[in-house]
């Protein structure tokens, strides 16, 4: 039974809980974080609101089950290790959140996406303001939000904080392009851009550039007419000029300029050095997962070498075995395929799907190649949004077919022809 047949109070509780979950996502200093605690009430709210599990989500569900089954198999030889057990508990919990979000966004999508946009932008602004206050030393004792002169805010690492800002930034940019420019949106976008730049995360900068490029390309392709495309081009150029102006304003500050010049080098010593450098540890991780078809055990590689793999695809091979690693790659590739197809279909949520899809591409093709993103909470939020909207899009096509034809059950061939 769908949410449309549930009681209004149940839907209200679901939406309030969803807002609180997304709003709390910036605070990860304490573990378990408020986000973890709120997932349980969100799941309960889904039951009260009668949120269904759409059959079109089964590919995601099955791949996640295979991924976690591989992880549990890899855990067996090190079952007495509490760190490994905790790692797998987190993995299973995150997989569950992806399914929960996918179910939520598969129906009543526009309303729930507006809730996510509002909560996520506010969450990112709060996190960034804390980081900016610390960076410019506006308050004593605020250096807890910094690491080596880089903003990490309430996250464990600047390289986790930076990508967290990209989805809300793209949400705001899309609002500009859609013609709903508000002063508060401009202020929020400037704050988030400053935070992204001051994270000094090269992967985050590359992630943002790729995701923005993909978003603009898809918006251009799916624009309804030539006038809309021209409008998109001019707004994009205006936004580029604004980012350049903001960059040089920050660059004029001595300390900021020094950090930019230091971080702008493509390859740092810790990338190419011989002892524990990023590329050398990645090479070692390849050697290890080729020798361990069942994986080394969850988080065993990190404890053995004192460093993580800095690559999610290698990491899942080591933590979840070959079966889990292949399933993880399957999740990424399948999401890229179904997300692209659905983003080309005109729906009320098309722009939001494009924004999330573009953000996911940046994570999958930049961040995941340089960092371990398989335990990043917002990674699974994006998975859930994309798959939920894919299901909603297919359902909308089916309804449109029924309305036009008067049929009760369209054939797969007819649906593909829509």
Which pLDDT value is given to residue 270? 57
pTM of the model: 0.92
CB atoms within 10 A of CB 395: 15
How would you write the pLDDT of the chain (418 residues) with one tens digit per residue?
344 467 899 999 999 999 999 999 999 888 788 999 999 999 999 999 999 999 999 999 999 999 999 999 999 999 999 999 999 999 999 999 999 999 999 999 999 999 999 999 999 999 999 999 999 988 777 788 999 899 999 999 999 999 999 999 999 999 888 777 789 999 999 999 999 999 999 999 999 999 999 999 999 999 989 998 998 999 889 888 989 999 999 999 988 988 888 877 766 655 555 556 677 888 889 999 999 999 999 999 988 887 888 899 999 999 999 999 999 999 999 999 999 999 999 999 999 999 999 999 999 999 999 889 989 999 999 999 999 999 999 999 888 877 777 655 555 454 444 4
Cα separation of 21 and 371, whole Å? 25
Which pLDDT value is given to residue 406? 64
Cα separation of 302 and 83, whole Å? 11
Q: Is 71 helix (H, G, I), strand (E, B) or coil?
A: helix
| Integer CA distances (angstroms), 408 to 5, 54, 125, 402, 414, in order | 21, 19, 47, 6, 13
Cα separation of 345 and 74, whole Å? 41
Element (H, E) at 146: strand 146-147
Which distant-in-sequence residues (6+ apart) come within 8 Å of 150 by Cβ? 158, 198, 199, 200, 201, 259
**What secondary structure letter does DSSP report for 268?**
-
CB atoms within 10 A of CB 36: 18
Cα separation of 280 and 54, whole Å? 44
In the beta sheet, which residues pair with residue 146? 151
| CB crowding 61-75: b at 16 or more within 10 Å, else e | bebbebbbebbbebb
Which pLDDT value is given to residue 282? 85
Beta strands in 288-413 (DSSP E): none
Closest CA to 367 of 254, 199, 223, 179: 199
Q: Given the structure tokens 């070959």, which residue do they identify?
A: 322
Cα separation of 344 and 361, whole Å? 16
**What secondary structure letter does DSSP report for 144?**
G
Q: Are 133 and 191 in contact (CB under 8 A)?
A: no
Q: What is the dihedral of CA 287, 291, 294, 297, to 10 degrees?
A: -60
Closest CA to 368 of 405, 392, 336, 416: 336
Return the CA Rg of the chain.
22
Q: Are 364 and 339 in contact (CB under 8 A)?
A: no
Which pLDDT value is given to residue 400? 82
Which pLDDT value is given to residue 279? 79
Cα separation of 276 and 358, whole Å? 32
Closest CA to 192 of 163, 150, 226, 222: 163
């Amino acid at each position: 039974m769908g949410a449309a047949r549930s009681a209004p109070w149940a839907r209200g509780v679901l939406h309030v809980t969803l807002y609180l979950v997304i709003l709390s996502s910036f605070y990860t200093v304490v573990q378990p974080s408020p986000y973890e605690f709120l997932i349980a009430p969100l799941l309960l709210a889904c039951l009260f609101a009668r949120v269904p599990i759409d059959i079109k989500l089964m590919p995601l569900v099955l791949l996640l089950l295979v991924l976690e089954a591989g992880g549990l198999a890899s855990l067996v030889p090190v079952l007495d290790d509490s760190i490994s057990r905790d790692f797998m508990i987190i993995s299973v919990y995150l997989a569950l959140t992806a399914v929960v979000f996918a179910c939520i966004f598969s129906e009543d999508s526009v309303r729930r996406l507006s809730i996510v946009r509002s909560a996520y932008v506010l969450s990112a602004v709060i996190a960034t303001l804390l980081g900016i206050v610390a960076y410019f030393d506006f308050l004593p004792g605020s250096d807890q939000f910094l690491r080596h002169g880089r903003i990490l805010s309430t996250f464990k690492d600047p390289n986790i904080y930076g990508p967290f800002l990209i989805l809300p930034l793209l949400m705001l940019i899309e609002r500009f392009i859609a013609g709903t420019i508000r002063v508060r949106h401009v202020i929020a976008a400037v704050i988030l851009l400053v935070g992204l730049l001051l994270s000094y995360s090269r992967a985050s900068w590359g992630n943002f550039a790729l995701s923005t490029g993909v978003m603009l390309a898809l918006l251009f392709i799916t624009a309804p007419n030539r006038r809309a495309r021209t409008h998109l081009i001019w707004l994009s150029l205006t936004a580029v000029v604004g980012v350049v102006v903001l960059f040089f304003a920050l660059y004029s500050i001595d300390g900021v300029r020094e950090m930019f010049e230091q971080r702008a080098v493509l390859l740092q010593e810790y990338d190419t050095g011989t002892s524990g450098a990023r590329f050398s540890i990645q090479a070692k991780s390849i050697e290890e997962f080729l020798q361990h078809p069942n994986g080394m055990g969850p988080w065993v590689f990190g404890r053995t070498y004192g460093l993580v793999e800095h690559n999610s695809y290698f990491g899942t091979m080591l933590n979840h075995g070959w079966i889990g690693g292949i399933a993880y790659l399957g999740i990424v590739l399948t999401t890229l395929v179904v997300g692209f197809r659905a983003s080309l279909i005109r729906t009320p949520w098309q722009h939001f799907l494009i924004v999330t899809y573009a953000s996911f591409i940046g994570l999958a093709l930049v961040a995941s190649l340089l960092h371990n993103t398989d335990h990043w909470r917002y990674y699974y939020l994006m998975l859930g949004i994309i798959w939920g909207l894919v299901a909603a899009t297919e359902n909308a096509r089916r309804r449109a077919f029924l309305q036009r034809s008067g049929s009760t059950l369209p054939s797969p061939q007819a649906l593909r022809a829509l």
